[in-house]
């Protein structure tokens, strides 16, 4: 699953609050739609999203069909040490997605 990550500011100073923006390509299928032949399209949404900063969970979201397709999530964390931000999510079908970006924190 394609995901785009953006850090604002991209190179934070230690102690600065960083906004993390995530955009994931996913239909977030509600289960209420029908295709052009009239068949029900089964529900499949991302239901869990976790962000870890150097291995420690800093944000978690339980999601549902109430979140729009190609979900956008924007949240914050305090820039501490340089290292890695890891994003992990799974959908109702059990498919998992993951993305990693490095975070460079200046003193």
Partner 1 sequence: MTQQTAAWLLVLALAGPGAAATAQERRIPLQALRSGITFVRPEIRAMQEDDFSNPGMLWVEKGAKLWGAGARSCASCHAEAEKSMKGVATRYPAIDRASGRLLNLADRIMHCRSERQGGPALRYESDELLSLTAFVSHQSRGMAIGVSIEGPARAHFEAGREFFDRRIGQVNIACTHCHDANWGKTLFAETISQGHPNAFPIYRTEWQTAGSIERRLRACLSGIRAEMLPYGAPEYRDLELYLAWRAQGLPIEAPGVRR
Partner 2 sequence: MSYSGRRRFLAQVAAGIALPMATLSSARAQTEQSDPLAWAFTKGVPVQRGRVKLELPLLVDNGNAVPLAVSIDNPMTPDNYVKSIHLFSQRNPVRDMARFFFTPRSGRAKVSTRVRLAGSQNVTAIAALSDGTFWADSVHVLVTLSACMDES
In Å, the largest CA–CA distance within the chain is: 59
- For the segment 7-46, give every residue that binds partner 2 (CB under 8 A): 17-18, 28, 30, 32, 36
Q: Is 95 left (phi over 0), alpha (psi -120 to 50) or beta?
A: beta
CA angle 105, 12, 53 (to 5 degrees): 60
Tokens 């997605």, located at residue:
97
Partner interacting with residue 2 (select from partner 2, partner 1, none; CB below 5-8 Å by kind):
partner 1
Residue 99 beta carbon to partner 2: minimum distance, rounded to whole angstroms:
17
**Binding region for partner 1 (CB under 8 A):** 2, 4, 6, 21, 23, 25, 27-28, 68-70, 72
**Binding region for partner 2 (CB under 8 A):** 17-18, 28, 30, 32, 36, 53, 56-69, 71-78, 80
């Amino acid at each position: 699953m394609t995901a785009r990550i953006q850090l604002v500011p991209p190179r934070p100073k230690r102690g600065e609050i960083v906004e993390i923006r995530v955009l994931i390509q996913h239909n977030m299928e509600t289960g209420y739609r029908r295709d052009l032949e009239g068949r029900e399209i089964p529900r499949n949404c991302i239901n869990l999203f976790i962000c870890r900063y150097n291995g420690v969970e800093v944000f978690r979201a339980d999601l549902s069909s109430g979140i729009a397709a190609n979900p956008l999530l924007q949240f914050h964390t305090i820039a501490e040490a340089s290292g890695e931000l890891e994003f992990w999510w799974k959908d109702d079908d059990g498919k998992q997605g993951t993305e990693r970006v490095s975070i460079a924190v200046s003193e």
